[in-house]
Copies of this chain bind each other. A is one copy, B any other.
């Protein structure tokens, strides 16, 4: 009889992370896994022996379809970094004892950068103790900042959401025919992939964003103000997309100019917020123009009512490819996407050594940022546009999208 499989979700959620879970679950079942366990709240929950038998919670194909449309992580998530196995071997001993008890042969972890560090440590530890459990990572992050893959599942849907609301906010900004500036603050601490997606709004039916400020470009407040003033002469309703992570030449975040922020998340990342509001206030104060700051906030990562079908399908496919790889004997690897062409869009999955991925960040390349630092190029758009195509219609029950959760 085949060994069992276990799957976990880690890090910040996306609108499509559960589609990868569906891909792992269904493919593992069809590969012959007896039981597919889901760890609750990632490896942190697993260390407390929190897990479910997914066949018991996902009972039929309708559950799977609703799962794909449910935002956030169905299994729960954690922001937990495994310790150095040389220094704290007991954590690893405990984890492997639990995996042995559950007769696990295949371990899948859906997550971003920090989650791939988990796969690297676990597969290294397995090799060091002669365990034959296979560990494969499934990429996930709205930030699109993972190396080893053309793009990450979750990015396309967040980009589609951002493009959609930028179009709507642009229409809204023009309603009074009056001078005004809208500053939309978008997620992405160090990489401008999401902020750049604001450029997708420009089309024959939309004027699009007038300025796009990525964290890859040093933010100069004086140049920014001068550009806003210039734009106001051409176009009374100015719409600006700005990353939460834009920094000044001295390394400080722009939002630090606004208020004292001491908050850090469990990975020691500072929580950034207030950039858009600060810039809107500065515009009002200095230029005397009505300005509003809009923070897209958590909605960017959980808006499963507007997802990209390309993204949802690829998320499922990444989960399936991880299982196939594990059953073929691979371990210590991450599934990635390799793009063959933009027009038509063609993409295959491939595997990369997990050590080449964990803890690296992929940024928007300099050649995709316009020379003035206030926009993205056609190259960026050709890259991003295929990822937002087509829709997966929510299943509405009594007027609202239906979700599924573990009671």
The answer on a CB contact under 8 Å between B404 and A205 is yes
The answer on a CB contact under 8 Å between B172 and A301 is yes
Report B-chain residues with C-beta under 8 Å of the C-beta of A399: 160, 163, 200, 308, 385, 388-390
Q: Mark A374-407, 1 if CB is under 8 A from B, else 0.
A: 0000000000010011110100111111111100
Q: Given A299-B165, A302-B172, are A388 and B403 also a contact pair (CB < 8 Å)?
A: no
The answer on a CB contact under 8 Å between A167 and B403 is yes
Report B-chain residues with C-beta under 8 Å of the C-beta of A167: 400-401, 403
The answer on a CB contact under 8 Å between A168 and B294 is no
- CB-nearest residue of chain B relative to A206? B403
Report B-chain residues with C-beta under 8 Å of the C-beta of A97: none
> Does any Cβ of B come within 8 Å of A40's Cβ?
yes
A41 to B403, CA, bound (A): 41
Counting chain A residues whose Cβ lies within 8 A of the other chain, the interface size class is 35 or more
| Minimum distance in angstroms from A235 CB to a CB of chain B | 14
The answer on a CB contact under 8 Å between A164 and B77 is no
Residues facing B in A6-49 (CB within 8 A) are 12-13, 40-41, 45
A305 to B174, CA, bound (A): 18
> Does any Cβ of B come within 8 Å of A330's Cβ?
no
Report B-chain residues with C-beta under 8 Å of the C-beta of A165: 299, 303
Report B-chain residues with C-beta under 8 Å of the C-beta of A73: 175
> Does any Cβ of B come within 8 Å of A297's Cβ?
yes
A45 to B175, CA, bound (A): 12
Report B-chain residues with C-beta under 8 Å of the C-beta of A388: 399-400
Give chain A's interface residues, CB within 8 Å of chain B.
Answer: 12-13, 40-41, 45, 70-73, 76-79, 160, 163-165, 167-169, 171-172, 174-177, 182, 200-201, 203, 205-206, 292, 294-295, 297-299, 301-306, 308, 385, 388-391, 393, 396-405
- A-B contact sample (12 more), CB < 8 A, given A167-B401, A295-B295: A40-B177, A71-B172, A164-B401, A165-B303, A171-B403, A200-B399, A200-B400, A203-B400, A205-B397, A205-B402, A292-B297, A393-B393
Can you list 24 pairs linking A and B with CB atoms under 8 Å apart? A12-B175, A13-B172, A72-B174, A76-B175, A77-B175, A160-B399, A163-B400, A164-B305, A165-B303, A167-B403, A168-B299, A168-B401, A169-B299, A171-B405, A200-B400, A205-B402, A205-B404, A294-B297, A305-B305, A305-B306, A308-B399, A389-B398, A390-B396, A390-B399
